[in-house]
Amino acid sequence: MGIIEKMRLDGKKGFVTGGARGIGKCTATAFAEAGADIAIVDLDIDEATKTANEIAKATGRKVIAIKCDVTNEDDVKAMVDKVVAELGGLNFCHANAGICINAPADEMTYAQWLKVINVNLNSVFLTDTIAGKYMLAHGGGSIINTASMSAHIVNVPQPQCAYNASKAGVIQLTKSLAVEWAKRGVRVNSISPGYIATDLIKASEFLKPLIAKWEELSPTGRLGTPEELESICVYLAGDTSTFTTGADFGLDGAFTCF
């Protein structure tokens, strides 16, 4: 069997949080294209259903949509149970849901801070540990967390201290779980994308003026695309990455190299 065949995900079952659009939609599509059955998990069930139907039609895989508030423990437990029941198991997941609030620290409210930390960090803890408990009891699995290059640098010119702190926490959580579970068959890794040209970023009136600045600062002179994150996630979800755990993969066009 060649390396391409070994990297396929045939027979595997997984879910992607924040999977209705953007990076999550792209990785969910890639997982299905590689042979996996997938659950699209999102608070926006209409968009999640639309995405699930599109991926199912394009790939022929079983793809379901699940509404879930990833900051709610009962919701996450029910979501994992539904994935297992409807897909027939759980081999991997991509904890990808996240938000950003751009506000100067001296103007940011505590409610805004808590919202970002809750969605970006606390939800990853809930997703990882609840999915991880199932994997630990059923022969192992792989967890992929979306961190950010913002865990490694302070972005300019936009102020986003809560986002930066939350993503740094995701990386340390990833490493901590990886060490705890290394001998128990569950791998935990993270990806740290740079500026990615998702539809939401391109449509944001606040961010549009910043794109030219980001491109100017980037060694590549451009933003990345969600599709450029797909292959590493397929690798991490599959069986050719069994010695890869506790790693953070920078996918930022060398933005953090200086």
Give the E-state strand segments of 107-202 in sequence order.
Answer: 141-146, 186-193
- Three-state secondary-structure class, residue 244: coil
Which of 134, 166, 167, 195 is an active site residue?
167
- Based on the residue annotation, tell me whether 134 is a catalytic residue of this protein: no
Angle (CA) 206-158-212 rounded to 5° is 65
Residues 101, 255: Cα–Cα separation, whole Å: 21
- Based on the residue annotation, tell me whether 195 is a catalytic residue of this protein: no
Which of 163, 166, 192, 195 is an active site residue?
163
Residues 192, 210: Cα–Cα separation, whole Å: 20
DSSP string across 36-79: -EEEEEES-HHHHHHHHHHHHHHH-S-EEEEE--TT-HHHHHHH
- 8 A C-beta contact, residue 131 and residue 93: yes
Residues 201, 54: Cα–Cα separation, whole Å: 22
- Based on the residue annotation, tell me whether 163 is a catalytic residue of this protein: yes
Which of 25, 123, 134, 148 is an active site residue?
148
Give the catalytic positions in this structure: 148, 163, 167
